[in-house]
Amino acid sequence: MSPVGKLASSPISFRRPRFFYESAREGFQDVSSQYCDSPRDGVLLPAFVGWSPREGCGVYDPVQNLGLKCAFYDLQDDLAVDVDQLDGLAASGAFAVIVVIHYFGKTEPKIDQIHAIAQRHGLALVEDLAHGFFTAMGGGPAGRHGDVNLFSLHKMLPMRSGGMVSYGNPRLVGKQRSTRPDLAAEILSYDFSSIAARRRQNFEGLTQRLLALPQNGGLFRLMWPELADTDVPQTLPLYIEGSRRDEIYTRMNAEGIGVVSLYHTLVSEVGQSHERMLRLSEHITNLPCHQDMTESDLSTVVDSFRRTLESL
């Protein structure tokens, strides 16, 4: 009979090594420099990848900096992956890494199939959870399959900067080193479950108010009217009909409402071959639903949105 100790003693059971950086971008470059041995080891990215002149592109800049080959795979109108096209690209033998993005904190609905594609063709799977820190911490499928998971801490917590890389496959850990190890103590100072609950509550409160607006279904529609049980939103994305998105953004921000239009400009390399994604990038705007917001704030945001629509 084998002895059974009174305490856990295995240092490898359920271990997911984590490294901390100034940004998730820095972490992804550290990952890619270790895993991609040559520029021939290409990276597959989703075609909905944003860029801005001030911030660049967090997931694409490291690929460019290392001179790696890159191809973009298609998404559906709801930002779910086109798994058939992804499978064909992965089967080509030209790529070493698949990156999948969990947009705005919503779990990619085909993550199981994407994981199977990566395993079948021998590619590493990187889950970009820049918007999905709390979604991944909730125990759902997001963050469960990735050989590597990327997190942008400052997008979800009140921090000026910060990125984290978590390894689901410890064999990929080599010479990586944290540049901001102090962030480990910082993030552990927060109550993850309470923040997640407040964000979900705010998302649902905004959704109820938005669905009641007469312009719903005409001037705008909700990208995701419902949340999955384990999803925790980064923002609430809206699809704005016509060409009003930028004016809505400008007017609401002038009223002090922190509206953003994430992915408003896609990286130029996406090109006209992904017209659906280019068109989508012109119509999405994002309302805040973060943990600082109160019930009163939700009404303030929707009232500003309503007034703006009426004025247009």
- Nearest 5°: CA angle at 221, between 311 and 251? 30
The answer as to whether 12 is a domain residue is no
Residue 29 shares a structural domain with residue 159: yes
pLDDT of residue 70: 94
Residues 266, 307: one domain? yes
Same domain, 104 and 71: yes
The pLDDT profile of the chain, 312 residues, written as one tens digit per residue, is 778 989 998 888 888 999 999 999 999 999 888 777 665 689 999 999 999 988 899 999 999 999 999 999 999 999 999 999 999 999 999 999 999 999 999 999 999 999 999 999 999 999 999 999 999 999 899 999 999 999 999 999 999 999 999 999 888 898 899 999 999 999 999 999 999 999 999 999 999 999 999 999 999 999 999 999 999 999 999 999 999 999 999 999 999 999 999 999 999 999 888 999 999 999 999 999 999 999 999 999 999 999 999 998
DSSP secondary structure string for all residues of 252-286: HHHTT---B-TTSSB-GGG-GGGHHHHHHHTTEEE
Distance in angstroms between the alpha carbons of the first and the last residue of the chain: 77
Do 197 and 291 sit in the same domain of this protein?
yes
State which of 187, 213, 240 marks the end of a domain. 187
Q: Is 146 in the same domain as 219?
A: no
Number of domains in the chain: 2
Question: H/E element holding 220?
Answer: strand 220-222
Query: 173 and 45 share a domain?
Result: yes
- Domain co-membership, 182 together with 200: no
Domain edge (last residue) among 152, 187, 222: 187
Q: Does the residue 5 lie in any domain?
A: no
CATH assignment at residue 172: 3.40.640.10
CATH of the domain at 213: 3.90.1150.10
Report yes or no on 107 lying in a domain.
yes
SS3 52: strand
Domain that holds residue 242: 193-311
Domain boundary among 187, 206, 228: 187
Task: Say if 174 falls within a structural domain.
Answer: yes
Residues 246, 167, single domain; the answer is no
pTM as predicted: 0.95
Q: Determine, yes or no, domain membership for 10.
A: no
Same domain, 83 and 182: yes
DSSP 58-78: TTTHHHHHTT--EEEE-B-TT
171 and 45: one domain?
A: yes
Instruction: Quote the pLDDT of residue 39.
Output: 59
Same domain, 75 and 199: no
Q: List, for residues 221-252, the tens digit of each pLDDT value.
A: 999 999 999 999 999 999 999 999 999 999 99
**Strand 163-167 versus strand 148-152 pairing type:** antiparallel
pLDDT of residue 1: 76
175-182 long-range contacts, CB within 8 A, separation 24+: 175/34, 176/19, 176/30, 176/31, 176/34, 177/19, 177/30, 178/19, 178/20, 178/21, 179/20, 179/21, 179/22, 179/26, 180/20, 180/21, 180/22, 181/20, 182/20
Q: Is 267 found in the same domain as 228? A: yes
